[in-house]
Structure 1
Amino acid sequence: MKNNKIIENNKVWFITGASKGFGLSLVKQLLAAGQKVAATSRYVASLVKAVGEVSDNFLPLYVNLSDEKSVAEAIQTTQNTFKSIDVVINNAGYGIGGSIEELTDEEARESFDINVFGTLNVIRAVMPFMREQKSGHIINISSIAGIAAGTGWALYAATKFAVIGLSEVLADDVRSMGIKVTVVAPGAFRTSFLTPDSLVMTKNPISEYQDVRNSHARYLQMDGNQIGDPEKAAAAMIKIADDDNPPVHLLLGEDAYSRAMTKLGVLEKEFKLNEELSKSMAYQG
């Protein structure tokens, strides 16, 4: 059944990490609305099964996001098939829990490869097409952890802070070309994020990091009981992609909003507390 109320204009969408979570909700809603969707996954058969639809509007693609060539080929295939790419949603990513000392260099780099460099690979590959058509919207999915991080999630927060930073500057860099950028910071949503499919935990816990263990336990207890509805999050992202003036930053979830506003208050207090010292750096005489 069509649901054209969620979006007014026909677009071509490119969505990473589409076989579960936000990605899957986005694909299903968009196809129901008659949109053209290229959806990527490392496991195409699982993606097709999860979507449960075969149509000319649905282009499932295998992509290894850490491989620039694989990403470029998927973008080119989408362009060849649908003749344009109007909205990119960089959704793929995973969580990683542990203190910095408890996680290996390899684990840290693998996390950045997908959560950050995968996003960069997609942006680099799609920008020539968006520049040529002088339009497009890039939506990067970060996390509230990229604004207000929690104990025990240092590397995950680092990747998500990076996504927010690169999105803010990208928005300035491409605005004059007619291209829009939004970075989305969701809170806790009832997806598979807290399951082993989407979350890597340290294999080398150190006993002194008891606060980290306690923090992880609190988060893991939320699995299946998160207050956020992923269908509503997907609908919100679709809505902003249809706006003439979409926001650069979008918080999703009451918890995300509360944590972000608390962080703003903490920053303001700390900055003002050291205002005199901060401003005393100029040469004298």
Structure 2
Amino acid sequence: MYAVAKLALISGGRGTLGAAFAKQLLSLGEWRVVLADNDPPKAQAMLARLDVRSGQGCEVRALNVSRIEEWSELIRLLQRENPKIDLLVNSAGVASGGEVHEVPPEEFQRVMQINYFGTLYGCQAVVPWMKSSGSGHIVNVASITGFLSPPATAAYASSKAAVIALSESLYAELRPHGIGVTVSVPGFFPSPLVERGTFSEESLRQEAQSYADRATLTADEVAEATLRAVDRKQLYAVSGSRARWYWRLKRLAPQWLANRLSKKLSSIN
């Protein structure tokens, strides 16, 4: 059994944001971090770029987040080695773009299976363990897209909106048990997400990539803001000045914002 005081499990371990969370936690010197990913060699390469070797507070485990049985098996293995889990970060995800009638139903299902059900399965797997210790915190990574629901993002936005709703419900359920829930709602930041994503038209990919390329927000800033919200036991962690502006604007003028976003799509087409 490990003597390290705190255990964190991060899904999407080879992703830019998953690595940023790992780096932030490892810098504190009191965490054992498990990076879980469906491509362990690439997650291991990410560790190398962080200048962290396995056995030095961080390790890689295989996990396909869309398979609940893999979540269950991973948690069983971790329970054998650790008395409790302190933090789960659900950061695995995929991008998808296209107007509703252009995106096949199978693509909607694929995106929802990874982005939403992959998050749900992680929560379901760790909640009993956290309840048994009366402590712990869950971070679910959503996106400002899940709050705005812009045109030509229905598959992705729907999955992230579901993550926000899941987190809100889970927060209310777990708070009486001493367990925290934070939903991370970042704006655009540079990452390979768009490059690896599926888009019905190349112009939509280029538009999404241009947002990411121009972004001043970084994955490190998203991780830092989210972990600060964890320390404060806050439900929402909205990262980036533009995302925070949209967060407020939709509440103040939702119809105006929807009309403006529609005009933006027309300019792309």
User: TM-score with structure 2 length normalisation?
Assistant: 0.86
Question: Aligned ranges for residues 82-161 of structure 1 at < 5 Å?
Answer: 82-161=82-161
Give the aligned residue type for 1:228: L
Question: Aligned ranges for residues 55-74 of structure 1 at < 5 Å?
Answer: 55-74=55-74
**Cross-structure match for 2:267:** none
- Give deviations 1:153-173, integer Å, cap 9, x for gaps: 011110011011111111111
**Cross-structure match for 1:227:** 216
Q: Displacement, 1:134?
A: 0.6
Distance of 2:146 and 2:204 partners within structure 1: 17
Equivalent in 208, 231, 251 of residue 264 of structure 1:
251
Aligned-pair RMSD on alpha carbons?
A: 2.0
Q: Displacement, 1:39?
A: 1.1
Distance of 2:44 and 2:100 partners within structure 1: 37
Contact 1:89 1:138 in 2 (8 A): yes
Q: Displacement, 1:269?
A: 8.1
User: Bigger shift: 29-38 or 65-74?
Assistant: 29-38
- Give deviations 1:179-220, integer Å, cap 9, x for gaps: 111111100112222212xx1112xx5xxxxxxx76554322
Does residue 4 of structure 2 align to residue 12 of structure 1? Answer: no
Classify the secondary structure of the residue corresponding to 2:217.
coil
Give the aligned residue type for 2:10: I
Distance of 2:256 and 2:180 partners within structure 1: 32
Does residue 237 of structure 2 align to residue 250 of structure 1? Answer: yes
Distance of 1:18 and 1:145 partners within structure 2: 22
**Cross-structure match for 1:48:** 44
- Give deviations 1:215-235, integer Å, cap 9, x for gaps: 554322234332111112112
Give the aligned residue type for 1:48: Q
Structure 1 unaligned blocks of 5 or more: 1-8, 206-212, 271-285
Q: Which runs of 4+ in 1 moved over 6 A?
A: none
**Cross-structure match for 1:37:** 33
**Cross-structure match for 1:77:** 77
- Give deviations 1:50-74, integer Å, cap 9, x for gaps: 1122225223110011111101111
Contact 2:116 2:163 in 1 (8 A): yes
Contact 2:107 2:155 in 1 (8 A): no
Contact 2:119 2:140 in 1 (8 A): yes
Distance of 1:247 and 1:144 partners within structure 2: 17
In structure 2, relative to structure 1, the CA distance for the partners of 1:133 and 1:175 (3 Å cut) is same
User: TM-score with structure 1 length normalisation?
Assistant: 0.82
Structure 2 unaligned blocks of 5 or more: 258-269
> Greater CA radius of gyration, 1 or 2?
1
Number of residue pairs matched? 249
Distance of 1:263 and 1:21 partners within structure 2: 28
Equivalent in 194, 198, 205 of residue 200 of structure 1:
198
- Give deviations 1:56-103, integer Å, cap 9, x for gaps: 522311001111110111122222223211111111111110011111
